[in-house]
Amino acid sequence: MPTVVITGVGQRLGLCLAEHFLAKQYRVIGTYRTERASIEQLRVKGAQLHQVDFYDQQQTQQFIAAVTSNVDTIDCLIHNASDWHDDNDVLAFADYHQIFSKMMTIHAEAPYQLNLAFHPLLIPKDDDQFGDIIHISDYVASKGSKKHIAYAASKAALENLTLSFAQRFSPHIKVNTIAPALLAFNEDDDDSYKTKARNKSLMQTEGSFQEAINTVEWLLASRYITGRTIHLDGGRHLK
């Protein structure tokens, strides 16, 4: 049974990815930070879930130990866990420091640690196969964001990790990034916001979580793509 490790499976893309791989009869090992109804549903379907706050180094190390002591092989590692802060809401210098540190921890340091720790498990036993690492970044990593500076910088760091790990882990492990813009709206997004957001791309629509899942599958099927960032932005970069 193939094994996929996915961080951040509680909602949105992470949840959809976990459900997708469970349906494909993968052993799904997932992390989450907050208990939700969706977490229990994944458990019922057979996912092996770990409550991990990647801001807590002890919890990160405990998760690494739990996986390395119970798993022989990982076919794919997907870094989806993420956080979001608006720099305009920060009022004090100490808060700026905390937010930047948190963004770098969740989007760069945690993937860095997990990639290195799980490296031996990702090396395939057959020479004609590949292990895969997929980082989930963001459109703003290449564009910047005046409202989410720390977030954008940390996602850019994640994309740079893709370059370094692709070199370090070649030729047995492919390392790539998916950088989406708008995939799906939140339930509380109003119509005016939706219209404004859709108009930012050439395609005039949101991408969907399925679009990202299709890209994950495309990368897994490839035997020749590594060290690349795949942009899912509907042509937004051309607006």
State the catalytic residues. Answer: 151
Element of type H or E holding 42: helix 37-44
Q: What single letter denotes the amino acid at residue 53?
A: D
CA distance 85 to 152: 10
CA distance 216 to 130: 14
Handedness of CA 155, 236, 219, 142 (dihedral sign): negative
Q: Which of 133, 36, 152 is nearest to 79 (CA)?
A: 133
Length of the chain: 239
At residue 67, what are phi and psi to the nearest 5 degrees? Answer: -75, -50
**Encoded tokens for 79:** 């870094």
CA distance 23 to 41: 13
How far lies 220's CA from each of 75, 101, 187, in Å? 9, 32, 31
Q: Which residues pair with 7 in a beta bridge?
A: 79
